[in-house]
A and B are shown apart, each in its own frame.
Chain A
Amino acid sequence: MAETRKDSLAVYVHWPFCLSKCPYCDFNSHVRDSVDDARWRRALCLEIDYWAEQTPGRHVGSIFFGGGTPSLMAPETVAAVIERIGMKWSLDAAAEITLEANPTSAEAARFAAFREAGVNRLSLGVQALDDTALKFLGRQHDANEARAALDLARRIFPRFSFDLIYARPEQSAAAWRQELSTALDMAAGHVSLYQLTIEKGTPFYTRQRDGEINPPGEAHAADLFDITNALAATAGYSAYEISNYAKPAHASRHNLAYWRYQDYAGIGPGAHGRLRTAENGARALRQHAKPETWLEAVERVGHGSAEARPLEPTEQAEEMLMMGLRLHEGINLVFFTERTGLTLEQAIRPGALTRLGDGGLLSHDGQNLRATDKGRNVLNSLLSELFA
């Protein structure tokens, strides 16, 4: 797996706008008639200045444009942000710069410009290769557009990935097997395969409550997950994280920074950060979520920070376990203690390690703690067992 420098920083940039809201999405996304590109460009750059001042001299190992729909950004804005990051921090020559994109033809038309701006990895929100499913998911593209966008991405970007959502209502094992096989044939080293999660506050939540849609039960969902891992493995993709599959050296460096609990700065509305500085120690950071609130705050005071809270060692330990156990590689315990100041035994409930180890859910070899395949399948309950 790609090694990163210890003082390396990951920078997340949030673009909060979408053309329409998907019924499963509970992300910080907003639909607006028009967006003042120049104004937003200035604000994003101002906030970069602010966070860079807080963390001087750090090397940025990755940038990730997420959203919302960052492929709706003006390529000039993307270019300006990348340039500013390079100017205020130092940007590694090999930095991974990812942009999330929708596969509609309109957005695909900008791919070349994004590449020009410095983006070297595209993450396409394909979600399904079936028109009925795409419609159900509220997507604006169809399967043909998705294929075309993937072909284009392959030609333009050194690396690309795409997302699929499975365990959809009424999705049979056979249908998913078919869809996933097709998808893996089109992949180029990395895919994110998410089970549909119905979140509170989304239209799907209401429809599920009213009995209109019935996502698969636990047993079927578990079967689909097993199929996914088996097919991916056959195609040479290993599940390096619960929903992320990569060929060797294709894992997302940026996302690994989250899961390895390295520092990241969040730029833009609703972005979160975890930063350690000599001055403030480890802090959890959160920016104003509403686009207009964030924008006005940045213009007024230079940043849109809504919360900057010191993290206790135990909180850091919990977060690190929460994230690290999602990874196949698990957690390096030396790094764990360095990072949190706690030994593993201090951080978790007495007896839990033995219980979960004996039950075949955790493995612990003295150097690394990792969740087994079985353990990762039930990680939420495992974590609650570990901490409570």
Chain B
Amino acid sequence: MTDLALIRNFAIIAHIDHGKSTLADRMIEICGGLQKREMTSQVLDSMDIERERGITIKAQTVRLKHKAKDGKTYTLNLVDTPGHVDFSYEVSRSLAACEGSLLVVDATQGVEAQTLANAYLAVDGGHEVIPVLNKIDLASAEPERIQQQIEDVVGIDATDALPISAKTGEGVKEVLDALVERLPAPEGDADAPLKALLVDSWYDQYLGVMILVRVQDGYLRKGIKVRMMGLGSTHDIERVGVFTPKNEIVEALGPGEIGFITASIKDVSECEVGDTFTEERRQTAEPLPGFKPSVPVVFCGLFPADSDDFERLRESLAKLSLNDSSFHYEAETSAALGMGFRCGFLGLLHLEIVEERLEREFDLDLVATAPSVVYHLRTTQDEEFDLHNPADMPDPTKIRAIDEPWIKASIMVPDEYLGPVLALCQEKRGEQTDLTYAGSRALVTYRLPLNEVVFDFYDRLKSISRGYASFDYHLDGYQESNLVKLGILINGEPVDSLSMVVHRDQAEARGRALCLRLKDLIPRQLFKVAIQAAIGGKVVARETVSAMRKDVTAKCYGGDVSRKRKLLDRQKRGKKRMRQFGNVEIPHEAFLAALKMGED
């Protein structure tokens, strides 16, 4: 157990590529956590995808030993935070495990929107924030300007900002010293009943579910029975340890300490981030504040492009969810698309990450339906419910009101691209709430319907700003809106998975675009195929695929019978992947392709 006065717990807040992981690596090296040869590049970002995208998905942690100027050796616990506000709740819990943060800003780039959101979370969480200006070894570094920008935009005193180069190691020791000197020591009562924060959990193939904890009061020891106060479950602690960053078993974790426990828990879904551990036989009176079970915000259907991959997709989702308690999924059968899953995510980036991991780590070719958000519906009978899937939307005459979620978006963009960005936000039904400048960069704040943002906002923002705009958002309540369900009908029958909820003003244009796309993708049939887009009972767009005129083998004699029958057998198997619409059958692939095209 460590003396509270000799502990400092901190997080690092930084934008992608601003050097968070490099800085962490240097600190580990200086503190002797790993030998040089053990250092793989960016120790903390352990998943390929994290390394590549520069996004931390799981909160990781490392315990460092640092001999400070006062001659004493301090324990510095670095908690790595998820880097995107899709995970803002997870970020807030990681921050809650610490007393202070390093705000790392690239001195050649400046503050980005995502940094800003997390910096605000830290400030709101009562953190001591130490600004760090990284990459000062580069000729293009402008530390003074960026220092001013931090004061202007983040609103904290940056006078004592630390200039460093995480790459060369310059200034990193000073960062370690500053942590000791400027951050408060944690507080806690060793004699009080156990009170510990569940910061994160993940699945380790050797140790099972590992739980990252921050102890507030009391002790976590092997063998004690603990209770998760939010979920009400109890578990026997099997292991207690810390990361150096290697796993190291310790006797116990006391007040102010951060480490891991295992407790023969099978599933990360049994570990809700933010929950409080206490000892079963000597319980604390009050859990730690701020616990919220995770709630998915964005939903979409995921279907295997090849329906033979359905079982593999199921297994992969199960494996993935071992490590991601915020990801929800359930089997969904779509008449048009075949078998797949309805999945819930914390946000768009979370969706993208899950999709990408499935495709990359599990080698699956996937098709996602248009993402949809959760609507609050009130019927004429005054029943209220949440709508997760546009296909489930009741008849418009039965709906009294639909509320949709809004977000507050912060966009930072170089001056020259501001015009198109504002136009995009307007087109997406946005309401501007603020526009300020920091040097030649504009910080614009908009309220936007989340429904518009999940459609194609992010891709378009990137393209109109040539990648220079950075974007962040947080949910900002629900409000009533004139929303309709846009349905696609094939020969008069609805195609469940292609329906979407859109604002009435945009419904016709979307419908026309989708009909045209389907016309190109639906192969010619024995009979003509009518493709319609409809709002309620009213058709707003129509296209026709004309009937095929010629499809017959010219020569067929005695020797061709077997070969022809084999061909028919293959077609028969293909039919299993088709859906009947009136007198024609259309392959799932056509609808999947229509969705896939929408991604471009």
Interface residues of A (CB under 8 A from B): 10, 12, 28, 66, 194-197, 218-219, 221-222, 225, 242-243, 255, 258, 264, 266, 270-274, 284, 286, 315, 318-319, 322-323, 326, 355-356, 358-359, 361, 376-385, 387-388
Q: How far is the CA of A355 from the CA of B580 in the complex (A)?
A: 12
What residues of chain B lie closer than 8 Å to A258, measured between beta carbons? 557-558, 561
Q: A323-B561, A355-B583 are in contact. Are A388 and B571 (CB under 8 A)?
A: yes
Q: Which residues of B contact A221 (CB under 8 A)?
A: 550
Assuming the contacts A270-B559, A388-B575, asked whether A322 and B554 have C-beta atoms less than 8 A apart, the reply is no
Q: Return chain A residues, CB-CB under 8 Å to B527.
A: 359
Q: Are B558 and A272 in contact (CB under 8 A)?
A: yes
The contact size tier of chain B is: 20 to 34
**Which single member of B525, B526, B549, B575 contacts A218 (CB below 8 Å)?**
B549
Chain B contacts with A in 189-231, Cβ cutoff 8 A: none
Of all chain A residues, the one with the shortest Cβ separation from B561 is A319
B475 smallest CB distance to A (angstroms): 48
Q: Does B5 contact A (CB under 8 A)?
A: no
CB of A379 within 8 A of CB of B553, answer yes
Sorted nearest first, the 5 A-B pairs with minimum C-beta distance are A388-B575, A222-B549, A384-B571, A222-B550, A379-B552
Q: Are A378 and B552 in contact (CB under 8 A)?
A: yes
- Chain B residues whose CB sits within 8 angstroms of the CB of A380 once the complex forms: 551-553
Interface flag for B39 (CB, 8 Å): no
Complex interface: chain B residues within 8 A of A359 (CB): 526-527, 583
Kindly state the separation between the CA atoms of A355 and B555 in the bound complex, as whole angstroms: 27
Q: Is A274 a contact partner of B558 (Cβ separation < 8 A)?
A: yes
Closest to A322 in B: B564
In the assembled complex, how far is the CB of residue A164 from the closest CB belonging to chain B, in whole angstroms?
11
Q: Are A378 and B555 in contact (CB under 8 A)?
A: no
Q: Which of B134-167 contact A (CB under 8 A)?
A: none
Is B440's beta carbon under 8 Å from chain A? no
Q: Which residue of B lies closest to A383 (CB)?
A: B568
Instruction: Provide 28 A-B residue pairs closer than 8 Å at the C-beta atoms, listed in order of the A residue.
Output: A66-B557, A218-B548, A218-B551, A243-B554, A243-B555, A258-B561, A264-B558, A270-B559, A273-B558, A274-B561, A286-B562, A318-B565, A322-B565, A323-B561, A355-B583, A358-B583, A361-B526, A378-B549, A378-B552, A380-B551, A380-B552, A380-B553, A381-B525, A383-B568, A384-B575, A385-B526, A388-B572, A388-B574
Asked if residues B562 and A284 are in contact (CB atoms below 8 Å), the reply is yes
Beta-carbon contact of B554 and A242 below 8 Å: yes
The chain B residue sitting closest to A195, CB to CB, is B554
Q: Of B552, B553, B574, B585, which is in contact with the most chain A CB atoms at under 10 Å from its CB? A: B552
- Would you call B562 and A197 a contact (CB within 8 A)? no
Could you tell me the distance in whole angstroms from the C-beta of B550 to the nearest C-beta in chain A?
4
A-side contacts of B572, CB under 8 Å? 384, 387-388
Q: Is the CB of A225 within 8 A of B558?
A: no
Q: Are A381 and B551 closer than 8 Å at their CB atoms?
A: yes
B423: interface (CB < 8 Å):
no
Determine how close the nearest CB of chain A comes to the CB of B500; give it in whole angstroms: 31
Contacts of B549 on A, CB cut-off 8 Å?
Answer: 218-219, 222, 377-378
Q: In the complex the two chains form, is A225's CB within 8 Å of B526's CB?
A: no
B536-586 CB contacts (< 8 Å) to partner A? 548-559, 561-562, 564-565, 568, 571-572, 574-575, 583, 585
Which chain A residues border B561 with CB–CB below 8 Å? Answer: 258, 272, 274, 284, 319, 322-323
Inter-chain contact A377/B550, CB cutoff 8 Å: yes
Considering the chains assembled together, what is the distance between the CA atoms of A219 and B548 in angstroms? 9
Cα distance, A274 to B558, chains bound together (Å): 8
The CA of A380 and the CA of B525, in the complex, are separated in Å by 11
Bound-state Cα–Cα, A197 to B560, Å: 14
- The chain A residue with its CB closest to the CB of B559 is A272
Can you name 16 extra interface pairs (CB under 8 A) apart from A218-B524, A359-B527, A381-B551? A196-B554, A222-B550, A225-B550, A242-B556, A258-B558, A274-B561, A284-B561, A315-B565, A361-B526, A376-B552, A380-B553, A381-B526, A382-B526, A384-B572, A384-B575, A385-B585
B558 touches A12 (CB 8 A): yes
Q: How far is the CA of A17 from the CA of B575 in the complex (A)?
A: 40
Contact A378 B583 (CB under 8 A): no
Q: Which residues of chain B are near A66, meaning CB under 8 Å?
A: 557
Within 8 A of A (CB), among B368-394: none
Contact A218 B571 (CB under 8 A): no
Give the residue of B552, B558, B564, B574 whose beta carbon is less than 8 angstroms from that of A242. B552
Q: How far is the CA of A85 from the CA of B557 in the complex (A)?
A: 21
| Residue of B561, B565, B585 with most partner-chain A CB within 10 A | B561
